[in-house]
Structure 1
Amino acid sequence: MSLLDISNLTVEFPGRKSTFVAVEGVSLALEPGKVLGVVGESGAGKSTVGNAVIGLLQEPGRIANGEIRLDGERIDQLDKKAIRKIRGRRIGMIFQDPLTSLDPLQTVEAQLVETIRTHLPMSHSEALTRAIELLDSVGIPDPADRIGQYPHQFSGGMRQRVVIALALCAEPELVIADEPTTALDVSIQAQILDLMKALCVERNVGMLVITHDMGVIAEICDHVAVMYRGNLVEYGETAQVLGAPEHAYTKSLISAVPRADVTIDRFPNVNYIEAAATPTRSIDISTHWLGKARDYEAATGPLLQVQDLSMDFEVKSSIFPSRRKYFKAVKTVSFDIQPGETFGLVGESGSGKSTIARLITGLYHPSGGTVHFAGTELTSLSSRSQVLAMRRQMQMIFQDPYSSLNGRMRVKDIVAEPIKFHKLASSNTEVRQIVDDLLDHVGLGIGAGEKFPHEFSGGQRQRISIARALATRPRFLVCDEPTSALDVSIQAQILNLLKDLQQELGLTMLFISHDLAVIRQMCNRIGVMRHGELCEVADSDALYEAPQHAYTKELLTLMPSMDLLAKIA
């Protein structure tokens, strides 16, 4: 008998005019001590399956057909009171974002003890002892001291360990992990995946892992189910599905996974997925792009030179300078970027990558060192006109396109704003023409200008961000984790688009990421950051094939293994 048995599950969301079928006829089974991965893009129905199992479907969502059995007992028809007794006690849940799934106003001790005592007959002291043991078992150092701290006092990886401890505190039979490592660095991801796999084996817990990351699937899952638009399109042992996929959608997903073992010119088009093929750009924007507004003086040497750059953040203030305490985020970093080159910065969270980007673009003023752009020292600029002239030449694409776009403005106004601010057009008609051409060039079409950001998918919003960044005709783009929140197929589209734009428009790029596979495919040279220091700089292929620094070697060994994935052209 299976621990979890899902039979012919259909989930519907009734609306005023029609009923949306989120999951249709899905059947899955999970054994104790095993890991079942459910993979697919956003909107495939993965999380809906998990929510149906644990009884967290948002109204008016309902199970329209099928059965869900836990250790032989049917649970899909239980009332709210009965399902609450199962939730947490027999089924644990690990959510994607540990910061939002923990109460910021309560200590970790309060949250763990409360959960334990809700489900197990223990006194406060017994529950506290068990909570400390759980924190120790999930790898949190000094658990007796750290249990009294608040969630914000933990790093992202440590917060995820706390969430895992919460999921396990009542000794559940089944754990559902919904995108458990999406926001984590490669080293922290490796630790969390090892921990999850070990807990399944040691405690004989069944685990349902919901993800769009093929690396996670290949690393820890015994079986994998591939979902597309609410339907189960392929299901079987992980080695079989990833190594010899049968369905066209599975093949498309695997083909779009960035590889760290070889460099390719372009990512394959994910042709099975509707509207996923690279869009045909019918408009030539060179008439706007190469005019007077982009008449820059050619750089005789490197376009960007960073020399001994440092940044200190004050963490304890005092009227007495000797008592002030500082955190050194960046420590005497030096590198250069040649015209037309893509230079990558890779490293864990807190390594100083994004701080360097903000120093280069003038959002922070450095504590020491210099930044030269096209022969001009940016840190010495004093007048507003000089600063604006340089800022127009460099633009930034941020990680989260939804929070970096004004939700109250139409897309046409978002893209037009920098054109008007820098006075790059002679009339409103010309502004609108440039906006339409940019939107068409990034694959959205001119009709997208009338809509608001919330009407677009994540990948489409990132295209809007790229169009806005291109609006000032820059020659230098700073891309700060531009695809980390996107599905693998959408990521492939955006990366291809950036490559195309670089070649067509002569762009130079600083590409920041913690994804080693993406960095290899996008960059000519790569710098490895750790604790604010630049450990190593090398050509892309040389760095991956013959790394010199011990930390670089460690990062490369921690990447999820892609050996199981079929080589699909």
Structure 2
Amino acid sequence: MSVLDIHDLKVEFPGRKSTFVAVEGVNLSLEAGKILGVVGESGAGKSTVGNAVIGLLQEPGRVAEGEIFLHGKRIDNLTAKQMRILRGRKIGMIFQDPLTSLDPLQTVESQLVETIRTHLPLSSKEARARAIELIDSVGIPDSEERIKQYPHQFSGGMRQRVVIALALCAEPELIIADEPTTALDVSIQAQILELMKELCEKRNVAMLVITHDMGVIADITDHVAVMYQGKLVEYGETTQVLGTPQHPYTQSLISAVPRPDVRIDRFPSVDYIEKAGTPTKHIDISTHWLGKARNDVKITGPLLQIKDLEMQFETHGSIFPSQRRYFKAVKKVSFDIEEGETFGLVGESGSGKSTIARLVTGLYHPSGGSILFAGQELTSLKDRREVLAMRRQMQMIFQDPFSSLNARMRVRDIIAEPIKFHKLASSNTEVRQIVADLLDHVGLGAASGEKFPHEFSGGQRQRISIARALATRPRFLICDEPTSALDVSIQAQILNLLKDLQEELGLTMLFISHDLAVIRQMCNRIGVMRNGELCEVAGCDALYETPQHDYTQQLLSLMPSMELLSRANIQELEAGR
């Protein structure tokens, strides 16, 4: 008998004027010890299915039709009290962001013990012993000491292990993992995925993994269900679905996945996905704002030169210098970026990648070393006009577009702000024309300037961020994890847009990411960072094919396997464009 059976599931969200159908006609089955992946873009209904199973649909959402069975017993018609007993005891949940699913005011021990005693008839001493055993089983060392700590004292990967331990407290029969590795680096992701596979094998637990990461699907799942606009479009064994996909949407998803094993000039434009989103518009910019000649200082040699760069942060202050403690985030880093190239920085969280970006843009002042941009030493600039003139030539695109946009300003004002600040237009009419040109160029259209950021999707908001970055007609663009929060198809659109912009505008880019597949597709040369040090710098193909440093080899070995993805299918899609 299957652990989980879903029959003709339909989930509705009634509104004042209409009813939104989030999921319709979904049929799934999951056996003990197996992992079922549910994949699709944001809004496809993946998480809604998981929330319906565990009884956490947000009001006024409801299961309008269909049935959900756990070990043959129907659970979608249980009362709220009955569902609370079932939740945790029979069904565990692993959420995307471990920090928000843990209580910051309670130790890990108190949270685990409370959960264990809620579901199992154990004394405090017995519950604590089980908590220590769980912490140890998910791979956290020194479990007896670390269990006494608070969530903020753990790294992101360790917090996710704590959440997995919480999900296992009452030995559930089914675990639902909703985007469990999205925020994790490749090395931590590999550890968590391996842990999840072991749990299913050793404890015979059934696991429903909800994700938009095809690499995760290829790595750990036995079966995969592909969802699109609330409906199940393809379902079967992972080897079959990824190797020989039948539905055009599945083929579209696979073709949009960045390839770690081969570099392509451009991601294929897949009409099945892009017809529902925002297509990338290619516009002749020769007579518009972006096509105007920049007054760039002509240089010989690299555009950006970083030599022996250092940055340290004070971790323990004191009036006595000898008692101060420091953390070195960047240690003697040196590299150059040639004009017109894209230089990639890759490494785990905490390796110093984003710190270097902030040092280059002047948001941090280095503890040592030098930064030369167009032959000018940036750390020596004192005059405000010189600083602003240099900063105008550099712009940054951040990881989370929503938090980097002012929610109270219209899009037209957000993009116009840097133009007005740097006095780059002679009148308000010219400002409006520039904003319209920029919005057209990033594929949103001038009319979108009247809206606010919350009225756009994640991919559209990132296009707004790109338009704002281009408003000063920069020479150098820093992209700090610009696509890590986006679905695979939206990611492909944004990366294509960045490639187009570089070619048309002659941009030089510093591209920062922990996604090795994305880095390969975007960069000419790549630097690998670890613990604030630059381990290796090499050309793109050379780095992936013949890595020299042990750490680079380790990172590349941890990339999710893409062997199941049909290369023939991708080539066929590319040939058909």
Q: Is the TM value for this pair above 0.5?
A: yes
Q: Name the residue aligned to 1:87.
A: 87
Q: Equivalent residues in 2 for 1:467-546 (5 A)? A: 467-546=467-546
CA-CA distance at 1:468 after TM superposition? 0.1
TM-score w.r.t. length of structure 2: 0.98
Is the CA contact 2:478–2:509 (under 8 Å) kept in the aligned structure 1?
yes
Q: Name the residue aligned to 1:198.
A: 198
Q: Name the residue aligned to 1:462.
A: 462
CA-CA distance at 1:286 after TM superposition? 4.7
Gapped runs of 5+ residues in structure 2? 572-577
Q: What is the root-mean-square deviation of aligned Cα atoms in Å?
A: 0.9
| Deviations, residues 160-203 of structure 1 (Å, cap 9, x unaligned) | 00000000011000000000000000000000000000000100
Gapped runs of 5+ residues in structure 1? none
Q: Distance in 2 between matches of 1:233 and 1:288?
A: 44
Distance verdict in 2 for CA 1:166–1:285, change over 3 Å: farther
Q: Does 1:553 align with 2:557?
A: no
Q: Name the residue aligned to 1:207.
A: 207
Identity across the alignment (%): 79
TM-score w.r.t. length of structure 1: 0.99
Q: Distance in 1 between matches of 2:543 and 2:474?
A: 29
Q: Distance in 2 between matches of 1:309 and 1:282?
A: 40
Q: Name the residue aligned to 1:256.
A: 256
Is the CA contact 1:346–1:526 (under 8 Å) kept in the aligned structure 2?
yes
Is the CA contact 2:280–2:497 (under 8 Å) kept in the aligned structure 1?
no
| Deviations, residues 339-374 of structure 1 (Å, cap 9, x unaligned) | 000000000000000000000000000000010000
Q: Name the residue aligned to 2:292.
A: 291
Q: Name the residue aligned to 1:390.
A: 390
Q: Name the residue aligned to 1:353.
A: 353
Partner secondary structure for residue 56 of structure 1: coil
Q: Name the residue aligned to 1:127.
A: 127
| Deviations, residues 458-498 of structure 1 (Å, cap 9, x unaligned) | 00000000000000000100000000000000000000000
Q: Name the residue aligned to 2:365.
A: 365
Q: Name the residue aligned to 2:575.
A: none
| Deviations, residues 15-52 of structure 1 (Å, cap 9, x unaligned) | 11111000001000000000000000000000000000
| Deviations, residues 201-248 of structure 1 (Å, cap 9, x unaligned) | 100000000000000000000000000000000000000000000000
Is the CA contact 1:270–1:276 (under 8 Å) kept in the aligned structure 2?
no
Q: Name the residue aligned to 1:400.
A: 400
| Deviations, residues 254-294 of structure 1 (Å, cap 9, x unaligned) | 000001100100001121022447433346265323436x2
Partner secondary structure for residue 87 of structure 1: helix
| Deviations, residues 68-110 of structure 1 (Å, cap 9, x unaligned) | 0000000000000000000001000000000111111111111
| Deviations, residues 281-317 of structure 1 (Å, cap 9, x unaligned) | 346265323436x211122110000000000000000
Q: Name the residue aligned to 2:157.
A: 157
Letter in 1 for 2:553: K
Q: Distance in 2 between matches of 1:290 and 1:50?
A: 49
Letter in 2 for 1:15: G
Q: Does 1:238 align with 2:222?
A: no
Q: Name the residue aligned to 1:53.
A: 53
Is the CA contact 2:285–2:291 (under 8 Å) kept in the aligned structure 1?
no
Q: Distance in 2 between matches of 1:238 and 1:434?
A: 48
Letter in 2 for 1:393: Q
Q: Distance in 2 between matches of 1:392 and 1:96?
A: 37
Q: Distance in 2 between matches of 1:24 and 1:561?
A: 32
Q: Distance in 2 between matches of 1:558 and 1:344?
A: 19
| Deviations, residues 98-149 of structure 1 (Å, cap 9, x unaligned) | 0111111111111101000100011111111110110000000101011111
Is the CA contact 2:332–2:369 (under 8 Å) kept in the aligned structure 1?
yes
Is the CA contact 1:271–1:277 (under 8 Å) kept in the aligned structure 2?
no
Q: Does 1:183 align with 2:183?
A: yes
Letter in 2 for 1:339: E
Q: Distance in 2 between matches of 1:98 and 1:269?
A: 35
Letter in 1 for 2:86: I
Q: Distance in 2 between matches of 1:36 and 1:171?
A: 19
Q: Distance in 2 between matches of 1:315 and 1:122?
A: 42
Distance verdict in 2 for CA 1:528–1:451, change over 3 Å: same
Letter in 2 for 1:486: L
How many residues end up aligned between the 2 structures? 568
Partner secondary structure for residue 99 of structure 2: helix
Is the CA contact 1:276–1:493 (under 8 Å) kept in the aligned structure 2?
no
Letter in 1 for 2:268: P
Q: Distance in 1 between matches of 2:299 and 2:10?
A: 61
